[in-house]
Chains A and B, each alone.
Chain A
Amino acid sequence: MKTKLIQIIYDMRTQPVIAWVTVIGTALSIFLIMTVVMMQQVGIMSFAPESHRDRMLYGMFLHKQSLENENDNRSAGLSYESAKKLYGELDGVEEISYQYTDLDRYDAKGTTGGKFTVDTRQTDDGFWRVFDHKLLDGRYYDADEVAAKRRVAVLSEATARKLFGGENAVGQHFELDHNDYEVIGVVANSSILASMAYGEVFVPADYDKEWTTGMGPFMAAMLIKEGVKFDDIRRQVKTRYAEYDSEIKSEGMKTVYHESPFDQEVINTGHRGSNITPDTSSSRMMRYIIYAILLIVPAINLSSMLHSRLRRRVSEIGVRRAFGCTRARIITDIVAENLVVTVVGGMIGFALGIVFAQCYDGLYTDPTGTAARPALSMLLNWRIIGIAFGSCFILNIISAAVPAWQAGRLNPVEAINAK
């Protein structure tokens, strides 16, 4: 192994230009791949407070259509009543949260006197069980408080500081959208990239808020039990839709089902069409095409680099063959050697990707398009590191395959005498 490394370094030093181009080329390609992967992963991987994105389903919209006229459509978010009818107490659901789909930007004023706009999330008590906010002080609101429409609030740490300076926030009062609220808890700040759980101020949602029959600002966020298939949930929801149909028949309406509830992949596409079925397959296809291009184009270049590196070593290959090296061993040795170079380039590229993500705003957005920088801890997760190394590996295989195979096929006599 040590001998191999010495040899690799030696070979690279004798052909420094090719060596540098190879390493930099690999680094850039891994950097691009990492950036795309991170952008994608941040949208689907779990991190607090959305610690179980792989087990989350969201019932967000209702689409009603006239029984007589299929051009007469109504679609929007859910009322609390209809959310409960369609998604309440399904088998296989561990916890459910009824919450407003959108954040409200309200003015807030605390003891510090300044007026701030705060991202306000309106939820029920289930919200605190579905999501994983870290309680720093005080408590969450409970079912009774939500039902009683109590004006209590949980603040993020940063918001508490903004409103009350250094003072202890719990027990204090502040003004939110011209109403007086009591602070009952403080939670850790959350990233805006946690698009369903993020907030600066959390207050009990108004269960009675309804726009037209069945429609309102609500959605149902469900944490599914471990091992339960999403399709099992969807099957039950379909039955609920059928029941709901018979209920609204008297209005002359029926529902149109759009594969609800949605998983995190749909949420990540930024799907907001209440009357269309989300399409993840085309965005997935697009992503795979991008990955393929990002891998294949540099691989072709790296392949020709490797080819010229090997041309200098034809005689060596012949000598190795003379002393008993098999064709297969020639090939695997070249691939392994190339992997070392690719991994070095890959690590540089990975580091560049992380630094870039930390320094450049606007690369990452939450599904509504708001820019946000992901925390370092989000990017340095095993999945992303695994994909980085996997990409290095694939890059290595595609770039080394042809040159290595050619090297394996060399006639030993001609190879030995090659200059």
Chain B
Amino acid sequence: MSLIELNGISKVYRTKEIETTALENVNLSVEQGEFLSIMGPSGCGKSTLLNIIGLLDKPTEGTVRLIDTDCNRLGDNAMSHFRNTNLGFVFQSFHLIPSLDVASNVELPLAYRGGMSAAERRERVDEVLERLGISHRKKHFPTQLSGGQCQRVAIARAIVGRPSIVLADEPTGNLDSKMGAEVMSLLHSLNADDGITIVMVTHNEAQAQQTDRIVRFFDGRVIS
């Protein structure tokens, strides 16, 4: 059984006048521990797919199974809980919360998890910050950090809850090549050392080549 299993996924956006088919009958399985790249031209539905895997959006048709759970059946609260325990997100423009310092940003997923004391949460945050080499920025606010540092914080936030799947939508899209390379090596180490399954959308062919497998999209369909 694969860790991620998508069957016959379609996504149609309906507005008053137009219908946009963002995804059409997509089938995809991702194995435990795999590092998968998704590539394709702008507007072909990559982000839409990632959002569906991330349970942030619902497919118009098709089934989503994650970690042996039939996610189509989950209610809103159960989905929130599922995201909290099993999924981590990394976004192109970081999406750190500007009013929170680094430590509090990283702590976010733990704040929505019951059964952890404040001390335990802080300990876990410190551990992750240490690991990603940003401990010294703990008390800084996002505006005081460089793009590369922001993305490190965002990655720390994505893994602090020890998820089995990390979903990254163009994680290096807003970074220069040097910082991009750093972020990539971080993701590789999470994949190799922690066994985290990663699904990453990228426009960078070289980065994609370093991953286990590339899925190419065109117009809402998988072409290879």
Given A413-B56, A413-B57, A326:B99 Cβ within 8 A: no
Give the distance in Å from the alpha carbon of A3 to the alpha carbon of B138 in the complex.
13
Does A329 touch B at the CB level, under 8 Å?
yes
Does B67 touch A at the CB level, under 8 Å?
no
Q: Report whether B100 and A7 are in contact in the complex, using a CB–CB cutoff of 8 Å.
A: yes
- Flag B98-110 by CB within 8 Å of A: 1 or 0 each: 1111001000110
**CB < 8 Å neighbour of B84 from A11, A323, A328, A413:** A323
Which residues in A have their C-beta under 8 angstroms from that of B99? 6-7, 10-11, 14, 316
- Flag B54-70 by CB within 8 Å of A: 1 or 0 each: 10110000000000000
Q: Report whether B112 and A322 are in contact in the complex, using a CB–CB cutoff of 8 Å.
A: no
Give the distance in Å from the alpha carbon of A328 to the alpha carbon of B98 in the complex.
23
Which residues in A have their C-beta under 8 angstroms from that of B80? 321, 324-327
**CB < 8 Å neighbour of A323 from B57, B77, B83, B101:** B83
Q: Report whether B51 and A413 are in contact in the complex, using a CB–CB cutoff of 8 Å.
A: yes
Which residues in B have their C-beta under 8 angstroms from that of A326? 76-77, 80-81, 112
Q: Report whether A322 and B56 are in contact in the complex, using a CB–CB cutoff of 8 Å.
A: yes
Give the distance in Å from the alpha carbon of A6 to the alpha carbon of B102 in the complex.
13
Does A347 touch B at the CB level, under 8 Å?
no
Q: Report whether A319 and B84 are in contact in the complex, using a CB–CB cutoff of 8 Å.
A: no
Nearest-Cβ distance from residue B35 to partner chain A, whole angstroms: 21
Q: Report whether A322 and B83 are in contact in the complex, using a CB–CB cutoff of 8 Å.
A: yes
Which of these binds chain A: B89-97, B195-203, B205-213, B214-222?
B89-97
Q: Report whether A324 and B95 are in contact in the complex, using a CB–CB cutoff of 8 Å.
A: no
Q: How many A-B residue pairs have CB under 8 A?
A: 70
Nearest-Cβ distance from residue B55 to partner chain A, whole angstroms: 9
List residues of A (298-322) whose CB comes within 8 Å of B's CBs. 315-316, 318-322
Does A416 touch B at the CB level, under 8 Å?
yes
Given A322-B83, A322-B89, A324-B81, A316:B104 Cβ within 8 A: no
Does B157 touch A at the CB level, under 8 Å?
yes
User: How many residues of chain B have a CB within 8 Å of chain A?
Assistant: 26
Does A412 touch B at the CB level, under 8 Å?
yes
Give the distance in Å from the alpha carbon of A208 to the alpha carbon of B185 in the complex.
106
Does B25 touch A at the CB level, under 8 Å?
no
**CB < 8 Å neighbour of A412 from B56, B85, B101, B113:** B56
List residues of A (374-419) whose CB comes within 8 Å of B's CBs. 411-413, 416
Given A315-B95, A412-B56, A324:B100 Cβ within 8 A: no
- Flag B2-18 by CB within 8 Å of A: 1 or 0 each: 00000000000000000
Please indicate which of the listed interface residues A320, A327, A411 has the most CB atoms of chain B within 10 Å of its own CB: A320
* Residue positions of A touching B, CB distance < 8 A: 3, 6-7, 10-11, 14, 315-316, 318-329, 411-413, 416
Known pairs A14-B99, A320-B108 / 7 extra A-B pairs, C-beta < 8 Å: A315-B95, A320-B97, A321-B80, A323-B89, A324-B80, A324-B113, A324-B161
